Amino acid sequence: MPRIAGVDIPERKKVLYAIQYIHGIGPKHARDILTEAQIDPDMRATELSEHQVAQINQLLDENYIVEGALRRQTGQNIQRLKDIRSYRGERHRRGLPTRGQRTRCNARTRKGRKKTVAGKKGVKGK
């Protein structure tokens, strides 16, 4: 299994899709990397030579922030927002959507499962 940027990429997939398994590399960056390395995007990951894998690794190291460093940077950015007590930081702290989405309905991904609150009971005897 080829190992690029510390990640085992799937062998049977085309290289264009296989390197997208690296956190921080999407379709556009994958295409750019393969163009710069002069690797055919339709080639399978198992067909990559050691030289080509090394070339991809070198391009990733020089030009992109990926995997652990990217996760750490994102976490630090969120922590900074929380520390300066910005509106977005408060939304992160409370586990609510940060980009202006409504929360009256929906927003279940951020808010978690419903917490049912018991309503008022009807008054009997009237």
Domains of the chain: which residue ranges? 3-63
> What pLDDT was estimated at residue 125?
62
> What pLDDT was estimated at residue 73?
97
Architecture of the structural domain at 3-63: Orthogonal Bundle (1.10)
Average pLDDT score over residue span 75-87: 97
Tokens of 60: 């990733």
Q: Contact at 8 Å (CB) between 23 and 70?
A: yes
How far CA 76 is from CA of 61, 70, 81, 118, in Å, comes to: 21, 10, 9, 39
pTM equals 0.78
Helix (H, G, I), strand (E, B) or coil at 4: strand
The C-alpha R_g of the chain, in whole angstroms, comes to 23
pLDDT at 78 over 80: yes
> What pLDDT was estimated at residue 7?
82
pLDDT at 96 over 60: yes
Average pLDDT score over residue span 29-54: 93
Average pLDDT score over residue span 106-110: 90
